[in-house]
Chain A
Amino acid sequence: MKENRNPMGNVYVTHRAIATIAYQSAIESYGVVGLAAKNFAEGIAHVLVKDPTLGVEVDFDGQKIEIDLYIVVEYGTRIKMVAESVSSNVQYRVEKIVGIPVERVNVHIRALRISDTD
């Protein structure tokens, strides 16, 4: 639960809310074709999840947010660039919407999806 003090009272933002924002901006990022469950065994890591909290981990130390994303990337894209872009997308959106600084976004590539072979 995050807390934002303001003159009218306290505003609480749940981990889940932040995970949802992160999830949405992640799947809008180019090259990301899905999020994978972070806790599943290696063998089924490619299972795409619809529930944001399964593919996103949110950590808050009272000052700053740290986010871990478990993504599946389209085969044939430059992974490093996709990761950089998803990370900056997520950071930008979460900071903009929630107003709490995002210290880091760790991007874990859990799988590649091969939709075409050249």
Chain B
Amino acid sequence: MINTVYKDALAIDGQTFKAMIAAALTWLKTNQQIVNSLNVFPVPDGDTGTNMVLTMQAAYNEIQNSEENNIGKIAHAVAQGALMGARGNSGVILSQIWRGFARGLDSLEKMDAAILTKALVEAKITAYKGVVRPVEGTILTVIKDIATASENIKEQPEIDEILEILVRAADVSVLHTPELLPILKQAGVVDSGGKGLFFIIEGFLKFLRGESLDTSTAIMVQPLALMEGNEMENIEPGQDFEVVIDFRPSQTFNLEKFYADLEEIGTSIQVGEGDGIYRMHIHVPTENRYAPIDYTMTSGTITKVYIENLLDQMENKVKESNQTLSLAEVEPGQIAVVVVSPGKGLSKIFASLGAAAVVEGGQTMNPSTEEILHAFEDLPTDKIIILPNNKNIFLAATAAKESTVKHVEVLPSNTVPQGLAAMLRLDPYSDLDDVFEDMKEALTEVDTGEITVATRSVTINEVDVKEGEAIALLNSQLVCAANSVNSACLSLLDKVDLSEKERFTFFYGVNISKDDVNTIIESVREKYPDMEVELHEGGQPHYQFIISIE
């Protein structure tokens, strides 16, 4: 028996929970056909929605006539009802979710935010216990993500705000299921059981907000989300726009004729029906983008129109795919390197050098211990080296080391060039301590230049700096100020002992134009004809340049 102090205003009692279950059931029923339409796994029988509704119905029947005001007892009754009435695979999992949820509530009178989290975590644990090899991309993943979202909520005064966050987490999780389960992606659907669970949670929220539960607001397919990363490598001519129209057909509606007429307008035609509403999907060339609407008007009453510019979507996709990182894959026993990188370009370079995980962060955007921890906790090895690449992140990285059972070493790399130099010494198959010593040695072999703009006037190291001036740091020490980035670069390089150096590598940031970059590189090459000068996109904020001198 747990005794928890809770604030009455936030707490939900047994009778409220009963009403929430009723609302969830109603909302699930309203959307039953949508869930059914998603069913492809593992047997295309299309009854997940029905099974979940029947399971929830059985759960609700158990409490329907109960006057009990203890939420723990109501939840146990819900679990019992769900167990006895579990239908289908999704029903069995749902019953396990309720069983864990009820266990989390124990016999508490009321549920507040903290207890809700505890119950959700229990629900997740119990759900996962029911299977040896959990298949991700299913309802299991969704309950896991909901529980995680709940754990991450720090301060949230109102229970409906909490539920709103959970609903959003469930939504995101459901949309992500095709990425985890290839069969879903092939079929172009999201997971049905996960979607069902989403409706249950959304039903809770709708009840608390007093929203209507009778009319489905969801659409049967979500063309945009589903196409993400799927069969969109190319757009064939005449497929510039995607048009989706929901409509109620007129009395004289003839499906065959409708199809035939649409074929005159565009390609990839699909027509689906649910609850008297038809949904039509078509790809058309730009000049025909309104034609499907005009035509459908003649066949019935349009309720919703949805147009997407596929060309634009395509461009975005190309852009995004350019930015995906190909991180090193680690096997058990290998050394995995986690780097903190201040910019996308630098992340890519770190990845190409064999980093197994990248945490974004740097000056003025220090990642938390938790973020660093997350980056390596799931890696399948227990040998970890962290490269903070910034003095301010060293502490967070050390804290991450102390909060894990894995063998972690934190390399005191204070700058990105130091981190890059260290990466070159990585041998993932070698002994962790040896590699760590090697990497540490590499830190001293590189000098780091950084160019930024002063945010205030100050005098440091006998250098007078005025606000707005370009300043140069050599190994994190302010060495000069100048009125332009170009001259700051040149006078910085001037101050380095170049006797044993042979290469400058410039990483340019987001706050400088490509033209300026080229001009500066030219002037550096001119002044130092014996040095190799390399240029890469760093993508870091604040710093116009990070310069590796080796």
Contact = CB atoms under 8 A, between A and B. Distances in A.
B96 interface: yes
Interface size class for chain A?
Answer: 20 to 34
Interface in B55-83: 76, 79, 83
| Main secondary structure on B side of the interface with A | helix
Contacts of B79: 118
B84 A78 contact: yes
B495 interface: no
Contact of A30 (B84, B89, B103): B89
B130 to A, nearest CB: 4
B1 interface: no
Interface residues of B, number: 25
Given A27-B133, A30-B131, A32-B131, A77 B83 contact: yes
Contacts of B218: none
B42 interface: yes
A77 B43 contact: no
Contact of B95 (A32, A77, A92): A77
A114 B84 CA distance: 17
Nearest to B132: A27
A15 B79 CA distance: 41
Interface in A8-38: 25, 27-34
Contact of B88 (A28, A32, A77, A85): A85
B189 interface: no
User: Which DSSP category, helix, strand, loop or mixed, fits chain A's interface?
Assistant: mixed
A32 B132 contact: yes
Specify which of A30, A33, A85, A88 lies most central, judged by the most chain B CB atoms within 10 Å of its CB: A30
A82 B132 contact: no
B91 interface: yes
A116 interface: yes
B129 interface: yes
18 contacts: A25-B42, A30-B89, A30-B131, A31-B131, A32-B131, A33-B129, A76-B96, A76-B99, A77-B95, A77-B130, A81-B86, A81-B88, A85-B88, A88-B43, A92-B43, A116-B103, A118-B79, A118-B102
Given A74-B129, A118-B103, 18 more contacts: A30-B89, A30-B131, A31-B131, A32-B131, A33-B129, A34-B132, A74-B96, A76-B96, A76-B99, A77-B130, A78-B86, A81-B92, A85-B89, A88-B42, A92-B42, A93-B42, A116-B126, A118-B79
Interface of B: 42-43, 76, 79, 83-84, 86-89, 91-93, 95-96, 99, 102-103, 126, 129-133, 135
Interface of A: 25, 27-34, 74, 76-78, 81-82, 84-85, 88-89, 92-93, 115-116, 118
